[in-house]
Amino acid sequence: MLQQITKGIKISVDVKFEGSFLKEMSFNHAFIYYITIENQSKDVVQLISRHWKIFESINRTQYLNGDGVLGKKPVLKPGDIHTYKSGCLIISPMGSMSGTYIMVNFSNAQKFNVEVPLFKLNAPYILN
């Protein structure tokens, strides 16, 4: 499990390979990632948007942006934890993801970035 703390917000990531399959005449590799967001700061914060960078070993990069996570914009009081799982399909059997959550601090109404550590998307059979 990877972990990173930015401005008192701890992000933990775990990833699991789900399998490979044909989709639209291309071989795809499915991954599920589990994210835990823990507010270790003294302020109430809210996650308002996300930005992902998905890199594939075939030298293809995708950028995804959106509001909240899975349609939610969680508010985290000090000590609160929000967990979710999501997925990613890539064409190459090796890649990586990294990202940023845009959050707002309720005590001063300031937006700030929280980094999601880079995590690898590797089909296990490619590493043998």
C-beta separation of 2 from 12 below 8 A: yes
Tens of pLDDT, residues 79-101: 999 999 999 999 999 999 999 99
Q: Decide yes or no: CATH 2.40.128.630 for domain 2-127.
A: no
d(CA 85, CA 73): 15
d(CA 97, CA 119): 5
Tens of pLDDT, residues 30-87: 999 999 999 999 999 999 999 999 999 888 899 999 999 988 999 999 999 999 999 9
C-beta separation of 89 from 30 below 8 A: yes
Residue 34 burial class via C-beta count within 10 angstroms: exposed 0-12, middle 13-18, buried 19 and up:
middle
Tokens of 72: 């939610």
Helix (H, G, I), strand (E, B), or coil: what is residue 36? strand
Which of 10, 73, 1 has its CA nearest to residue 40? 10
**Sign of torsion, CA 38 41 43 46?**
negative
pTM over 0.75: yes
